[in-house]
Amino acid sequence: MNHPEIVLILARAANGTIGRDGKLPWHLPADLRRFKMLTQGRPMIMGRKTFDSLPGLLEGRRHIVLTRDPDWQDDGAEVARSFEDAIRIANAPVISVIGGAEIYRLFLPRADRIELTQLAVPFAGDTSIDAPDPAQWTEAAREDHAAEGNRPAYSFITWRRITERTG
């Protein structure tokens, strides 16, 4: 497979936070449903900490774990040791990259699309990522949702690369 479409899938607070203590610092059911819809039937590439944070294996998806630990393995996980190894193992026309921050940064220069859930408020956390650079990404679609009860306002945003990807 020469050039699969690489899609980063993430949720990000207004201050850039994407995680706290290995978990999402918010509970947004609509985001979880969107994540399932975007990843169903596709290989997902993730870091070991992201794999460990999952409630278990997610049905209907392959779990490719990119790790530097030569001894790491887990039932249901396909282990990759490099970007190239992960792409080769995925061997699919569309690949979902689901985190964490280090994995996002590794794949960002080669990504084609970002599926972002952007929360309208900041959250405290220990892991963050920058917003897409408007010099390289254009907003292709947006669906805004108002705050409801104790849930903050958020937007589902699709970003598409506007410059030639590297690699």
Parse the chain into domains and list their residue ranges.
5-161
CATH architecture of 5-161: 3-Layer(aba) Sandwich (3.40)
The 8-class DSSP code of residue 109 comes to: G
Q: How far apart are CA 28 and CA 50, in angstroms?
A: 18
pLDDT at residue 164 in the model: 64
pLDDT, tens only, 24-38? 999 999 999 999 999
Integer Cα distance of 8 and 21 in angstroms: 21
Going by pLDDT thresholds of 50, 70 and 90, the confidence category of residue 165 is low
Residue type, 11: A
At 91, phi and psi to the nearest 5? Answer: 40, 60
pLDDT at 3: 84
pTM of the model: 0.94
- What is the sign, positive or negative, of the torsion defined by CA atoms of 139, 143, 146, 148? negative
- What value does the mean pLDDT take over residues 114-134? 96
